Amino acid sequence: MSLFCPTPFFLYKPYPALHLPTHIPPSPIPILSFFLLIHCPMASPSQSVAAENPPRQSVERLAYSGRVALLLIAARADGGLGLVGERVAVGGWVKSFTVRPKSDAPRSPPQILPPAAVEGRDATCSEVLFKIPILRSIANMLGRGNEPTKHRGIKLALKKAMPSVAYLRINDGSCVANLQVVVDSSICPLEQVTAIGTSILAEGVIEKVQMRGKYVVELKVDKLLHVGSVNPQKYPLSKTRLSLESIRSFSHFRARTTTVASLARVRNTMTHATHTFFQKNGFLFVHMPIITTTDMNPNQKKFYVTQLFNNAEDGLMGSSVKDRDAINLEVVRASSVKDRDAINLEVVRAAIRDKNKRIEELKRSDSNKEALIAAQLDVQKANELAQQLEEQEKALKQGKLDFSKDYFGQPAYLSPFPGLHLETYACALSSVYTCGPKFQAEDSQPTKHLAESSTIEVELAFAAVEDAMKCAEDCLKSLCSSVLANCSDDLKFLSSRVDDKCIDRIQSIVSAPFARISYAEALEMFKKVTDRTFESKAEWGVHLSNEHQSYLANELYKQPVIIYEYPKELKPFYARLRDDGRTVTAFDIIVPKAGVVASGMQKEERIDALTSRIEELGFPQKQLEWYLDLRRHGTVKHSGFSVNFENMVMFISGLNDVRDVVPFPRSKGEANC
Amino acid sequence: MSLFCPTPFFLYKPYPALHLPTHIPPSPIPILSFFLLIHCPMASPSQSVAAENPPRQSVERLAYSGRVALLLIAARADGGLGLVGERVAVGGWVKSFTVRPKSDAPRSPPQILPPAAVEGRDATCSEVLFKIPILRSIANMLGRGNEPTKHRGIKLALKKAMPSVAYLRINDGSCVANLQVVVDSSICPLEQVTAIGTSILAEGVIEKVQMRGKYVVELKVDKLLHVGSVNPQKYPLSKTRLSLESIRSFSHFRARTTTVASLARVRNTMTHATHTFFQKNGFLFVHMPIITTTDMNPNQKKFYVTQLFNNAEDGLMGSSVKDRDAINLEVVRASSVKDRDAINLEVVRAAIRDKNKRIEELKRSDSNKEALIAAQLDVQKANELAQQLEEQEKALKQGKLDFSKDYFGQPAYLSPFPGLHLETYACALSSVYTCGPKFQAEDSQPTKHLAESSTIEVELAFAAVEDAMKCAEDCLKSLCSSVLANCSDDLKFLSSRVDDKCIDRIQSIVSAPFARISYAEALEMFKKVTDRTFESKAEWGVHLSNEHQSYLANELYKQPVIIYEYPKELKPFYARLRDDGRTVTAFDIIVPKAGVVASGMQKEERIDALTSRIEELGFPQKQLEWYLDLRRHGTVKHSGFSVNFENMVMFISGLNDVRDVVPFPRSKGEANC
């Protein structure tokens, strides 16, 4: 089955080898224009003129695609009216559609802003009315031809070759707004384009239409450059109003929903704002390693990075395709993961027996010397593999893993604290930052913790904790300002669908200095609260619970709060001990709705204090030698902080489940691609 | 031992709780100014005036540190002369130093540009002369007091409490240039500051000095705010002229060498240029996951991400600190990694026996019921741990790993192809990119391959391979332009120390369009070469060897070359098959010196073609279902490319070993922190 429109309708290849020229010439074959004129009674005289004398392009094309981003049409302040008469190519995926018989079809009201459903297709106003049985009956009785047809209607229209027009609302991910593109059944069999999720690349002219007393634009398509069809029965986004939770089970389509696309644009803005902020302030970006051989907290579960599991597959997977084929092609051919696990010692031993038999046969037949040599080499490989497997089994039986045989010759982990390696660069380049993943193997609270999350890590040499606090506050404000300035449509959408307080909340972070309170003061404050009770007790040495954080940020201050001077037990060993011997110069920034969005501290730069703390905690010092070295040689007062990027997105969007705000959730038991 | 200057010299704390105010007031205590005047015969009248009436600050302080970045002093076009008389605080690490007795010390020639040694301390001109025995003898005979003193000399001067002056060349990582700071022995015992690697935070006035007939600036220090000392015997960078290879064994100090710091600044510029380029062109940044459950190429070795190894430690590491303490505190306390491995079944069983004995004792004594209950809970925990260990041993004995018990409930890997997940976002948001790590478990060629490397991945929907080629070319040009514009001092330094052709090479990439040649044409071209022989043969279906790539980029074209239309066997299964059925629409960009810096392709968007290719290669289809889904529903022509960030740094710097161009090398057997 071809996925594209049948070519008879086109006088060019559906996949032109070269993309659209910057200046689109008039339709090359006059017959095509004629064809369009005949079959498009909707085409206004101005359009046919435009097709022959295209107006000057005043809308910018994308540099590497030839099409125009919908952002520059549908998200314009004038709704695109300034572009009427322009010939453009646009691409996108169908978010909703309407089909009308052509005979007397009045113009369908284009729906540009806002999309009517979080996910999937929109329901037009008339469709909604049509769902009311009595109205449907009346309409049917009156035999009105202009009610919107659904799938059956489309099929009927197509079967009868009834001339029809499809109104497709498409979106290309560049903005919230959709653009209505109008496809006549003379251009393409409409059944190919009338399914939610269909991809369209179309060329045409922007026209002005009236909708509910207001003028908007739509694209009158005269060339369909590409169609990628959809099977509505199998496409998961065909259904309307899917929950974010249900969307998570097909991560690969999530970005086609308006909510996830909006989050992606917000995340993009936040990322760019991060770089802009730090570059402007003289920080250097440093790539931090993901793989570390330093176990910074033996009490914390880790993700190991290993190749020990590969050993079982070595001769097979590690060797060239040729070798692999020689050993056990049929096993690999048939292999799903489960099958591949079956390549164990028994299988290999059986293969060796078979191969030895074959060698004997070859020796007897004496027919083909080359085949004999190949078979002998083959057995040799298999024997090596068997030996590896035997060694592995032996090691495993002893209950020990021999990390000296692993890729790095020692245990290696996914880094849970990228900030630690960043310190080495701060202690040389002074002001540094990084953006990247961090890994926490949390078992509980899947809605709050991800195995893999994004973080901004910052480290400043010659800086005290107050500097880090100030920098963190400015950084968060800068991210929020940028989102307010660049994502207003996304915020409006999130505001209408997720949390109507989100814009106010973001504005509040930008407008005033953050509140500041020490951990001890916070405890005192909780004691004084009489108008409510807390489920958990806030005691010295205990982490502030969600309800306590929430009380401070949502009720008491109603703005971000910096909590500082924590008891040393609550912070990592490298937080600088204060003179009182029981608190450290560490802080958290909590915000309404999302809790802790940033944590920072002045690092312990005194070698004696640091080693005492490590001993106190019983941590192995050997792996930390490099970290201690930074204090032994040219130590410097330095402070840093990390921003929990996902929590910031939760703060901005108002979403409650952290798995919904990342492109691909990775949490306990959840990683589906 | 305190790491800081003894306080008697200071009337303030060595770690002021608040950082320097924006406007530095005159010295608060008149006695200090007096003290400085008395003890600083080098202080010019203008300086003391400046100290009391500080001139208007015309140099910008760092927002979060109060000090001034050396970039704004030493790297100014006028060498800092425009700032003479300004009071500033600067920080940095000592790169080289000279000490002179104060009596008749002439001004030491400050050495600002370029540093005399790639790594470690500089040798001053007079030091070099002093190395010539005859000159040294004459000088000693003449008893000249102004020859530069080395360590012994410093000690002697200090022992005799001889007033001396230290000339320290410090660097804060913001630029290549060092700033000379002048510290009088009355300010601080000079032995504390005269070691390479010492960190200094100092305040003083910028003065003009003459050096070799040229005026430059130095900082006359009157307040030492912080000193972080160094033990020269143990500090690895105390030696001069260390090779990059030897520096790799102490990753945590590498950034203090001028070469690695320059590379860090170049990498920072490249990173920022990447974001600027893609944001300008309407791309959205998307965070790609590091952990994937999709095995995209069963023939390739992978890094597994697992928690199965943690099981052995579960009851210990996974439980709360209290529980852990109860079970086996002494084991954890003493634990290095080796010790922790010892927590095996035998140890736990022995612990259970001991604990059971204790319970019996407690029962007999009948003294403490709470202790008995605690001990019983304790044994219960230990029994659970033993059971887990038994299960694990059993599973291991069977030679099988039960991934259903792993964190994600299935095998998970470090992603070798971030571009594949990016396609899901391109098929919704159209133009997307990401920057992040990718993982290749290569065993060979440690100088060329890293286990963990940085990559820029780009994906464009509605775009053909030519669009991706153009975008990749523009992207590389943009990175290079930005490095030329923003890192001129770094390039000059790299040019003088690593590769004198690097600037020309970078300019050549910016100035002309890249050459383009198909794989087939390249093979034809190699056949025609008669003036040289290639060690390997360039044949259809074989990867172009380094010497062939080098011939094209270094000799034939002397510029970047795009090689396109590769045989399908040489590219991944998802490259779009061309009409000839044997080549794919994939390309590589090779550059002089560094080889392949970018690779791209139009992706196969036709479901039938893609599934055939997967079957042909015998890859398991089940894990790829999500990837195939993108072709089943709303498929779209899309193309992408990835830039090998490290190879680009090698191209720019001229370095040959990829481990030298990354902040923390991760390759086979190499990951030392």
Enter the tokens of residue A286: 């440093």
Rounded CA gap, A328 and A343, in Å?
9
The average pLDDT across A484-494 equals: 97
Residue B345 in this model has a pLDDT that exceeds 60: yes
| pLDDT band, very low/low/confident/very high, at A491 (cuts 50, 70, 90) | very high
Query: Do the Cβ atoms of B301 and A284 come within 8 Å?
Result: no
Q: Does residue B266 sit in the same domain as residue B236?
A: no
**Mean pLDDT estimate for chain B:** 80
Establish if B17 touches chain A: CB-CB under 8 angstroms: yes
Question: Do B224 and B188 touch, CB atoms closer than 8 A?
Answer: yes
Instruction: Please tell me whether residue B207 adopts helix, strand or coil conformation.
Output: strand
Domain's final residue, options A360, A388, A405: A405
pLDDT of residue A355: 83
DSSP B578: P
Domain's final residue, options A380, A405, A430: A405
Q: Does residue A433 sit in the same domain as residue A392?
A: no
Domain containing B601 equals 259-302+412-660
Enter the tokens of residue B439: 């993982």
Give a yes or no: residue B565 inside a domain: yes
The average pLDDT across B115-129 equals: 39
Give a yes or no: residue B629 inside a domain: yes
The average pLDDT across B31-57 equals: 34
The average pLDDT across A323-349 equals: 43
Q: Does residue B132 sit in the same domain as residue B157?
A: yes
Q: Does residue B461 sit in the same domain as residue B480?
A: yes
Question: Do A607 and A440 touch, CB atoms closer than 8 A?
Answer: no
| pLDDT band, very low/low/confident/very high, at A3 (cuts 50, 70, 90) | very low
Q: Considering only A240-244, A255-259, B275-279, B501-505, which range has the smallest mean pLDDT?
A: A240-244
**What is the torsional sign of CA A340, A342, A343, A347?**
negative
Q: Does residue B297 sit in the same domain as residue B342?
A: no
Q: SS3 letters for B167-204?
A: EEEEECCCCCCCEEEEEECCCCCHHHCCCCCCEEEEEE
Nearest by CB to residue B452, choosing from A66, A275, A289, is A289
DSSP A532: S
Query: Do the Cβ atoms of A287 and B3 come within 8 Å?
Result: no
Give a yes or no: residue A672 inside a domain: no
Residue B357 in this model has a pLDDT that exceeds 60: yes
pLDDT in tens, A469-487: 999 999 999 999 999 999 9
Give a yes or no: residue A73 inside a domain: yes
Query: Do the Cβ atoms of A317 and B333 come within 8 Å?
Result: no
Residue A643 in this model has a pLDDT that exceeds 60: yes
Give a yes or no: residue A248 inside a domain: no
pLDDT of residue A75: 93
- Which CATH number characterizes residue B268's domain? 3.30.930.10
Nearest by CB to residue A430, choosing from B91, B281, B408, is B91
Q: Does residue A286 sit in the same domain as residue A182?
A: no
The backbone region for A50, taken as left when phi is positive above 0, alpha when psi lies in -120 to 50, beta otherwise, is alpha
C-alpha separations of A57 from A11, A60, A88, B395 in Å: 24, 7, 8, 68
Give a yes or no: residue B308 inside a domain: no
Q: State the smallest CA–CA distance between residue B44 and chain A in angstroms.
A: 29
pLDDT in tens, A142-192: 444 343 444 444 455 455 568 999 999 999 999 999 999 999 999 999 999
DSSP B576: P
Q: Does residue B378 sit in the same domain as residue B465?
A: no
Give a yes or no: residue A254 inside a domain: no
Enter the tokens of residue A543: 């982490």
Rounded CA gap, B79 and B64, in Å?
25
pLDDT of residue B58: 82
pLDDT of residue A379: 83
Q: Does residue A139 sit in the same domain as residue A287?
A: no
pLDDT of residue A188: 93
pLDDT of residue B393: 60
Establish if A628 touches chain B: CB-CB under 8 angstroms: no
The average pLDDT across A83-105 equals: 90
Instruction: Say which residues have a Cβ less than 8 Å from residue A668's Cβ, sequence separation at least 6.
Output: A442, A443, A446, A451, B407, B408
Residues of A in contact with B250 (CB under 8 A): 626, 629
Domain's final residue, options B346, B377, B405: B405
Chain B residue closest in CA terms to A614: B333
A-B Cβ pairs (cutoff 8 Å, strict): 506
Nearest by CB to residue B399, choosing from A336, A345, A409, is A345
* Pairing of β B515-518 and β B561-567: parallel
pLDDT of residue B7: 31
Q: Does residue A536 sit in the same domain as residue A389?
A: no
Instruction: Say which residues have a Cβ less than 8 Å from residue A453's Cβ, sequence separation at least 6.
Output: A437, A438, A440, A644, A645, A646, A658, A662
Helices (H), B250-368: 251-254, 258-280, 321-333, 337-341, 345-365
Nearest by CB to residue B298, choosing from A335, A392, A396, is A335
Establish if B223 touches chain A: CB-CB under 8 angstroms: no
Residue B369 in this model has a pLDDT that exceeds 90: no
Establish if B322 touches chain A: CB-CB under 8 angstroms: no
Q: State the smallest CA–CA distance between residue B138 and chain A in angstroms.
A: 37
pLDDT in tens, B436-493: 999 998 877 888 899 999 999 999 999 999 999 999 999 999 999 999 999 999 999 9
Residue B9 in this model has a pLDDT that exceeds 50: no
Establish if B75 touches chain A: CB-CB under 8 angstroms: no
Query: Do the Cβ atoms of B201 and A400 come within 8 Å?
Result: no
Count of the separate structural domains present in chain A: 3
- Which CATH number characterizes residue B188's domain? 2.40.50.140
Nearest by CB to residue A424, choosing from B174, B255, B308, is B255
Residue A247 in this model has a pLDDT that exceeds 60: yes
| pLDDT band, very low/low/confident/very high, at B361 (cuts 50, 70, 90) | confident
pLDDT in tens, A377-401: 888 877 877 777 676 666 555 556 6
Instruction: Please tell me whether residue A566 adopts helix, strand or coil conformation.
Output: strand
pLDDT of residue A104: 53
Query: Do the Cβ atoms of B15 and A345 come within 8 Å?
Result: no
The average pLDDT across A522-542 equals: 93
Residues of A in contact with B400 (CB under 8 A): 341, 344
| pLDDT band, very low/low/confident/very high, at B296 (cuts 50, 70, 90) | confident
Mutation for testing the B interface, residue in A93, A170, A252, A617 having most B CBs under 10 Å: A252
pLDDT in tens, B207-242: 999 988 889 999 999 999 999 999 999 999 998 778
pLDDT of residue B570: 97
Residue B314 in this model has a pLDDT that exceeds 70: no
Q: Does residue A143 sit in the same domain as residue A213?
A: yes
Residue A329 in this model has a pLDDT that exceeds 50: no
Q: Does residue A457 sit in the same domain as residue A359?
A: no
Between residues A5 and B374, which one has the greater pLDDT? B374
Give a yes or no: residue A251 inside a domain: no
pLDDT in tens, A13-25: 333 333 333 333 3
Mutation for testing the B interface, residue in A59, A71, A430, A619 having most B CBs under 10 Å: A430
Establish if B372 touches chain A: CB-CB under 8 angstroms: no
| pLDDT band, very low/low/confident/very high, at B362 (cuts 50, 70, 90) | confident
Rounded CA gap, B59 and B75, in Å?
13
The average pLDDT across B627-652 equals: 97
Mutation for testing the A interface, residue in B331, B407, B602, B610 having most A CBs under 10 Å: B407
Residues of A in contact with B430 (CB under 8 A): 65, 69, 91-92, 172-174
Query: Do the Cβ atoms of A629 and B252 come within 8 Å?
Result: yes
Chain A residue closest in CA terms to B226: A636
Q: State the smallest CA–CA distance between residue A558 and chain B in angstroms.
A: 27
pLDDT in tens, A269-310: 999 999 999 999 999 999 999 999 998 888 888 999 998 876
Q: State the smallest CA–CA distance between residue A487 and chain B in angstroms.
A: 13
Q: Does residue B580 sit in the same domain as residue B634?
A: yes
Mutation for testing the B interface, residue in A462, A578, A624, A643 having most B CBs under 10 Å: A462
Q: Where are the beta strands (DSSP E) in A229-320?
A: 284-285, 291-292, 304-306
Mutation for testing the A interface, residue in B60, B64, B198, B340 having most A CBs under 10 Å: B64
Question: Do A406 and A348 touch, CB atoms closer than 8 A?
Answer: no
Residue B144 in this model has a pLDDT that exceeds 50: no
Establish if B194 touches chain A: CB-CB under 8 angstroms: no
Mutation for testing the B interface, residue in A303, A427, A449 having most B CBs under 10 Å: A303
Establish if B671 touches chain A: CB-CB under 8 angstroms: yes
Residue B336 in this model has a pLDDT that exceeds 50: no
Establish if A85 touches chain B: CB-CB under 8 angstroms: no
